[in-house]
Amino acid sequence: MRSAASGAQLGSVYSPSAPAWAEPRGTERSRAEPSGAERNRTEPNGAEPSRTGPSHPLSVYRRLLKMGGAVSAGEDNDELIDNLKEAQYIRTELVEQAFRAIDRADYYLEEFKDNAYKDLAWKHGNIHLSAPCIYSEVMEALDLQPGLSFLNLGSGTGYLSSMVGLILGPFGVNHGVELHSDVIEYAKQKLDFFIKTSDSFDKFEFCEPSFVIGNCLEISPDCTQYDRVYCGAGVQKEHEDYMKSLLKVGGILVMPLEEKLTKITRTGPSAWETKKILAVSFAPLIQPNHTDSGKSRLVHLPPVAVRSLQDLARIAIRGTIKKIIHQEAMSRAGNGLKSPARFKRRRLRRRRMETIVFLDKEVFASRISNPSDDNNNSEDMDEERPEEEETKPSELKPEPPVNFLREKVLSLPLPDPLKYYLLYYREK
């Protein structure tokens, strides 16, 4: 089993129901380090390894480029999402909004948050987060829409399930199955923290995920089917039909099947369309442990319940207030009232690698200026300068975001307990 440190460097995918790492592979990404045997390997008769061998610096360098050259680390969550968009991992607005709304660092333990905005996986004990690029591919492949039902097999920290819940909205279904009880407790803590403290929560109507403990291969056969299903562990051919049985007609299943991240669409009761998305290497699903009697422990998924009248009223009232806020904003814009000054995100322009210099069998990269790049940068600076000059006289500083929904609710002529209910008892 690969260690957490080495696995994290691979931008890997981990199955919450499997005790091992897995990583993207093939043409998209490959291992950054050769094995110890390869590092120390020599050719017969003491000859040096060939320049195309796996241990040659150029080969290592090429693998490094394939592994993580597409997505650079961000200084914050927004910059990480900018990089994922630029690399075409995030391609749709709904997925982008979900990624921006939930700060990836909130799902890290405090002492590991420095690595939250890198395109790397993270693991600590049973707690795990896959690389951002993998979550992006999964979210895009699921083609999520409001009101759908979603099942996450190996729900882990709840990070993916929470992003999905922002898109599903209040009338969706959001269930997760996780093998480890300590991870479920961690996921519930993070979910509660998001609901109570996130600045983004009131911008959405959330489909709160529900988590159950168990092995995802032991789901009760009388369970309901889902519009969207994701499995975060390697699925062997023998379990393909089982996974398909969880899907409604017209639904989409995304799973790593025989070392390919695969999207399967159910087009009819016995008809399927299959698309290979990405070559990967996932840890396999853990096989069920049977009881002493030889019977499996069935996993019973949460019931699909109708919301209470009180809850439906809260959703309707919040929706009406949001429409009023939107109409007021449009009215101000129509009257020529300026919105508060917005600060342009700083964009880092990275120069391309132009040359590779070999010296003492090591690879050194030299970045060479391109005259056209310099000209383009100069033009960009000219375009951005007026905006900066406008803000200099008043020395504007960014203000904390205003929660207009909260202000409206608190101004209503209602008893305080009802106001706080409308706000989901949030503190901010």
With respect to residue 349, please indicate whether it lies within any of the assigned structural domains.
Answer: no
Does residue 256 sit in the same domain as residue 320?
no
Q: Which residues are known to be catalytic?
A: 130
Does residue 160 sit in the same domain as residue 198?
yes
pLDDT tens digits for the chain (428 residues)? 433 333 333 334 433 443 334 445 543 443 333 334 333 333 334 444 444 444 444 443 343 333 333 477 778 999 999 999 999 999 999 999 999 999 999 999 999 999 999 988 888 999 988 889 989 999 999 999 999 999 999 999 999 999 999 999 999 999 999 999 999 999 999 999 999 999 889 999 999 999 999 999 999 988 899 999 999 888 989 999 999 999 999 999 999 998 889 999 999 999 999 999 988 777 788 888 876 566 678 999 998 888 999 999 999 999 999 999 999 988 888 766 555 544 445 555 444 444 334 444 444 444 434 444 445 554 555 555 555 555 454 455 556 678 899 999 999 999 999 999 999 999 87
Q: Which domain holds residue 414?
A: 306-331+404-427
The enclosing domain of 280 has a CATH number of 3.40.50.150
Does residue 101 sit in the same domain as residue 214?
yes
Does residue 109 sit in the same domain as residue 253?
yes
With respect to residue 346, please indicate whether it lies within any of the assigned structural domains.
Answer: no
State how far the Cα of 239 lies from the Cα of 262, in Å rounded to an integer: 14
Does residue 244 sit in the same domain as residue 104?
yes
Does residue 326 sit in the same domain as residue 203?
no
Query: How many domains, the chain?
Result: 2
Token pair, residue 204, equals 């959405």
State how far the Cα of 254 lies from the Cα of 274, in Å rounded to an integer: 10
pTM of the model: 0.70
